[in-house]
């Protein structure tokens, strides 16, 4: 009888047994990949939307039109089987509408040159005539942009800028001097693309008459070469222009091409060539181009208004700082009245309204928090929309506010992180929401906040996750001995017992460009950290000083000394964790990627007394090896700040290492060159410091593709099990 009772009691446990996470599920099978709302677009009439669907499973998808209010299908807009070029179907899922929504831009055979520069074979499909026009047969194109009237498409091919006339199907060469590693027209050089987060450098005027572009002369920029291994006797050599800290940049000029006269004028951007042009953008006046000019130190940003007819310019706005001025895409022009932009001039990033002569009309947003993104401006209602950290550095909420700074409203309905994409006319918006333990939810709302349609709630993923005994990511605050309050999160094993002592796996990025301590879904990284908790580790993450979202003083505190305060904060955190009764202070480790890899390398050296082991992936090991725009923004040139470079280079402190160190890099990393890890490993060998080393052949900064991520995390997990 006792045996029967035991079986009855055990039976429910067998039914509801929780599954264990595997590296294969996370990094190879995509078991926990969330869905998105791909293919959904609201049309400019504000009353309809389109979505991709297949009438028969497995068939070529079609593009259907729906009524927003009723959700009923009203028309078959494009039949996928009609989009045929040279006997093959083009992928409708790649579509982008023309300005008039009468044509589709599609592509095939896409490949990436660098992070933000995909090139492909592009096509334009006319919805009415069902005709397909190929942009060019002479090579793949980059950054195709319809002219505002929808009659032409501009694009870059082979470092030159072209225009395709869709009515005559002729290709016009705007430039002819483009040449690899010498001249680039309309396409930013490597360092612009990476550090100004922009690769396409051309813009149409509102009347489709002018096409302005930036010309990059890379002649004096030094080259960097990487070996590419393809199984042949001699490796292929890939050489590209990469200006390291203190080295020469491209010399830039701004050209304004008249499509009627087929001629260009050169805008006057000044005699100093040691400058940056991070953005160009036509104003609402089709004859006026706004050029942003930034000095080499990056602490003086100017807006120049250029006359498109003759290239003459005048400075209408200047933003200066003792440290640096950030570049963003927040600039918006208000009819013919003025412009809206963001600035940290009052110690927090806020929105300001200026007239067209650069005179301040009013500061729109105010408070001890940062505007993280300017989402749009509805001129009909004088309403702005933006994302901010008003509810804390881990949160992202969307707000609306009037141009005069009044009537501010929080639009995000829940705590966590929200982002909205507003439709044309600002009648609707698509909301993307998640929190630390909830996958993304995509919803369509009317502008008054009423839910119209759930586009994707990832219910299947939520249900699947219930079969795993997952840990909950919990946010907390940590105050350093210096009284600095930092945002953090902690994940404990699901079967956590406060009477036990657990090892701690610290994780961080730490740099000025990003937060990782967010109340938002972190995808595969979240599942990886859950796997570690199943292995018996506590996972902890804190955003140290120097990270964004908490005002200018917090972010700029690391100026001229990258790595110093960040590591102080992380070491203080490790010491604090060691005082907790459920933490084994002799088993605290640290892992990071990129800037986080730099942090991991410093933690195992400068934090040798508290860190047992560290994993550094694709780390910078001395900022002199990195590019000049990023590095000089925070450290200035090496010749002007030697101590800032050397005092916080982990290469100079390897002799301090007491614990175990795993160093990982991709040999094809065009961003943080493998040179960094090679120099680090040489220093480790010189000092007879044992370490583990893994180089991934031909892999870039993301070290991905195929089973690469599975391989890298298998390596990391083995290292953690054995050394933490």
pLDDT tens digits for 319-342? 999 999 999 999 999 988 999 999
Here the CATH number for the domain that contains residue 180 is 2.140.10.30
**What's the pLDDT score for residue 539?**
98
Sequence-separated (6 or more) residues with CB below 8 Å from residue 498: 581, 582
Please, which pLDDT band fits residue 40 given cuts at 50, 70 and 90?
confident
Please, which pLDDT band fits residue 17 given cuts at 50, 70 and 90?
low
Nearest in space to 97 (alpha carbons), one of 48, 160, 137? 48
Residue 9: pLDDT above 60? no
Nearest in space to 395 (alpha carbons), one of 364, 375, 369? 369
Average pLDDT over residues 525-531: 98
Residue 8: pLDDT above 80? no
DSSP 709: H
> Is the CB of residue 509 less than 8 Å from the CB of residue 484?
no
- The torsion region of residue 7 among left (phi > 0), alpha (psi -120 to 50) and beta comes to alpha
Classified as helix, coil or strand, 134 is strand
CB atoms within 10 A of CB 190: 25
Nearest in space to 276 (alpha carbons), one of 188, 343, 212, 349? 188
**What's the pLDDT score for residue 315?**
98
**What's the pLDDT score for residue 303?**
98
CA torsion through residues 686, 691, 695, 701, sign? negative
**What's the pLDDT score for residue 38?**
80
- 548 part of a folded domain: yes
Sequence-separated (6 or more) residues with CB below 8 Å from residue 695: 664, 665, 666, 667, 674, 677
Full-model pTM: 0.94
> Is the CB of residue 624 less than 8 Å from the CB of residue 562?
no
- Pick from 281, 306, 327: which residue ends a domain? 327
Beta strand segments in 55-136, E: 62-67, 73-78, 84-85, 88-89, 96-97, 103-112, 118-126, 132-134
**What's the pLDDT score for residue 3?**
39
Residue 246: pLDDT above 50? yes
- 554 part of a folded domain: yes
Average pLDDT over residues 280-307: 98
Whole-angstrom CA distances from 715 to 399, 595, 718 are 44, 20, 5
Dist. CA 356–CA 298, nearest whole Å: 24
Classified as helix, coil or strand, 294 is strand
Classified as helix, coil or strand, 650 is helix
- 559 part of a folded domain: yes
Residue 2: pLDDT above 50? no
- 312 part of a folded domain: yes
Classified as helix, coil or strand, 461 is helix
Helix-, strand-, coil-residue percentages of the chain, each rounded to 5: 20, 40, 45
Question: On the CB side of 370, how many CA atoms lie within 13 Å of its CA?
Answer: 21
Sequence-separated (6 or more) residues with CB below 8 Å from residue 455: 37, 40, 430, 442, 443, 444
Residue 681: pLDDT above 90? yes
Please, which pLDDT band fits residue 516 given cuts at 50, 70 and 90?
very high
Whole-angstrom CA distances from 444 to 369, 379, 419, 429, 438 are 28, 22, 12, 6, 18
- 308 part of a folded domain: yes
Here the CATH number for the domain that contains residue 587 is 3.40.50.1820
- 315 part of a folded domain: yes
Share of the chain above pLDDT 70, in %: 98
Average pLDDT over residues 410-416: 95
Residue 478 parent element (H or E): strand 473-479
Please, which pLDDT band fits residue 691 given cuts at 50, 70 and 90?
very high
Nearest in space to 247 (alpha carbons), one of 644, 626, 671? 626
pLDDT tens digits for 143-162? 999 999 999 999 999 999 99
**What's the pLDDT score for residue 6?**
36
pLDDT tens digits for 63-90? 999 998 888 999 999 999 999 999 999 9
Residue 184: pLDDT above 70? yes
**What's the pLDDT score for residue 10?**
41
DSSP 60: P
β-bridge pairing 223-228 and 183-185: unpaired
Please, which pLDDT band fits residue 37 given cuts at 50, 70 and 90?
confident
> Is the CB of residue 185 less than 8 Å from the CB of residue 174?
yes
Number of domains in the chain: 2
Average pLDDT over residues 497-522: 97
- 542 part of a folded domain: yes
Residue 23: pLDDT above 50? yes
State the chain's mean pLDDT as an integer: 95
Dist. CA 159–CA 141, nearest whole Å: 10
Please report how the helices 523-534 and 708-723 are oriented relative to each other, as an axis angle in degrees rounded to 10.
30
Dist. CA 1–CA 415, nearest whole Å: 52
- Pick from 291, 308, 327: which residue ends a domain? 327
Please, which pLDDT band fits residue 631 given cuts at 50, 70 and 90?
very high
DSSP 351-373: EEEEETTS-EEEE---SSS-EEE
Residue 1: pLDDT above 90? no
For residue 305, the enclosing domain spans: 175-327
Please report how the helices 564-579 and 595-605 are oriented relative to each other, as an axis angle in degrees rounded to 10.
60
Q: Alpha carbon 361 to chain centroid distance? A: 32
- Pick from 312, 327, 342: which residue ends a domain? 327
**What's the pLDDT score for residue 47?**
86
pLDDT tens digits for 541-581? 999 999 999 999 999 999 999 999 999 999 999 999 999 99
Share of the chain above pLDDT 90, in %: 94
Residue 126: pLDDT above 70? yes
Dist. CA 530–CA 705, nearest whole Å: 23
- 79 part of a folded domain: no
């Amino acid at each position: 009888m006792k045996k029967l009772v035991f079986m009855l009691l055990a039976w429910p446990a067998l039914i509801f047994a929780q599954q264990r996470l595997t590296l294969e599920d996370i990094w190879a099978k995509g078991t926990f990949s969330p869905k998105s709302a791909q293919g959904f677009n609201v049309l400019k009439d504000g009353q309809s939307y389109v979505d991709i669907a297949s009438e028969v499973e497995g068939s070529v998808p079609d593009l259907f039109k729906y009524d927003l209010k009723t959700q009923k299908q009203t028309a078959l807009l494009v039949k996928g089987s009609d989009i045929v070029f040279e006997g093959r179907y083009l992928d409708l899922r790649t579509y982008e509408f023309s300005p008039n929504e009468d044509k589709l831009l599609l592509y095939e055979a896409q490949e990436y040159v660098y992070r933000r520069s995909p090139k492909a074979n592009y096509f334009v499909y006319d919805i009415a005539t069902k005709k397909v026009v190929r942009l060019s047969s002479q090579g793949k194109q980059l950054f195709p942009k319809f002219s505002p009237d929808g009659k032409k498409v501009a694009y870059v091919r082979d470092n030159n800028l072209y225009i395709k006339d869709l009515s005559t199907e002729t290709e016009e060469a705007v430039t002819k001097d483009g040449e690899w590693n010498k001249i680039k027209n309309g396409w930013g050089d490597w360092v612009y693309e990476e550090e100004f987060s922009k690769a396409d450098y051309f813009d149409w005027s509102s009347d489709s008459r002018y096409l302005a572009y930036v010309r990059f002369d890379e002649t004096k920029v030094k080259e960097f070469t990487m070996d590419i291994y393809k199984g042949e006797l001699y490796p292929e050599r890939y050489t590209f222009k990469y200006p390291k800290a203190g080295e020469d940049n491209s010399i830039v000029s701004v050209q304004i091409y008249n499509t009627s006269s087929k001629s260009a004028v050169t805008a006057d951007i000044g005699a100093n060539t040691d400058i940056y042009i991070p953005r160009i953008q036509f104003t609402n006046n089709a004859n006026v181009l706004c050029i942003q000019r930034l000095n080499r130190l990056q602490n003086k940003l100017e807006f120049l208004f250029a006359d498109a007819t003759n290239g003459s310019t005048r400075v209408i706005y200047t933003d200066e700082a003792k440290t640096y001025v950030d570049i963003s895409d927040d600039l918006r022009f208000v009819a013919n009245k003025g412009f809206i932009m963001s600035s940290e001039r009052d110690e927090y990033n806020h929105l300001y309204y200026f007239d067209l002569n650069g005179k301040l009309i009013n500061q729109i947003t105010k408070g001890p928090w940062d505007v993280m993104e300017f989402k749009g401006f509805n001129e009909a209602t004088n309403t702005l929309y933006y994302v901010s950290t008003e509810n804390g550095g881990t949160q992202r909420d969307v707000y609306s506010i009037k141009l005069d700074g009044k009537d501010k409203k929080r639009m995000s309905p829940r705590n966590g992180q929200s982002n909205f994409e507003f439709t044309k006319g600002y009648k609707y918006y698509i909301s993307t929401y998640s929190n630390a333990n909830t996958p993304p939810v995509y919803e369509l709302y009317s502008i008054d906040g009423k839910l119209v349609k759930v586009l994707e709630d990832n219910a299947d993923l939520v249900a699947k996750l219930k079969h795993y005994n997952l840990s909950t990511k919990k946010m907390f605050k940590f105050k350093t001995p210096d009284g600095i309050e930092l945002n953090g999160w902690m994940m404990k094993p699901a079967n956590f017992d406060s009477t036990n002592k657990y090892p701690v796996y610290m994780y961080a990025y730490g740099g000025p460009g990003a937060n990782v301590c967010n109340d938002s879904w972190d995808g595969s990284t979240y599942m990886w950290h859950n796997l570690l908790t199943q292995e018996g580790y506590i996972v902890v993450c804190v955003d140290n000083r120097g990270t964004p979202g908490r005002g200018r003083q917090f972010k700029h505190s690391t100026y001229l000394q990258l790595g110093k305060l960040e590591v102080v904060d992380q070491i203080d955190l490790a010491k604090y964790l060691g005082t907790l009764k459920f933490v084994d202070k002799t088993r605290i480790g640290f892992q990071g990627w990129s800037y986080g890899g730099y942090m991991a390398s410093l933690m195992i050296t400068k934090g040798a007394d508290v860190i047992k082991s560290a994993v550094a992936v694709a780390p910078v090991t001395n900022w002199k090896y990195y590019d000049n725009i990023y590095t000089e923004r925070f450290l200035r040139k090496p010749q002007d700040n030697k101590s800032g470079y050397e005092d916080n280079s982990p290469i100079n402190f390897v002799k301090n290492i007491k614990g175990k160190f795993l160093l990982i890099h991709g040999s094809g990393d065009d961003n943080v060159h493998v040179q960094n890890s090679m120099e680090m490993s040489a220093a480790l060998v010189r000092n007879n410091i044992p370490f583990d080393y893994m180089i991934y052949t031909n892999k870039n900064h993301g070290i991905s593709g195929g089973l690469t991520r599975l391989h890298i995390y298998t390596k990391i997990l083995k290292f953690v099990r054995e050394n933490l």
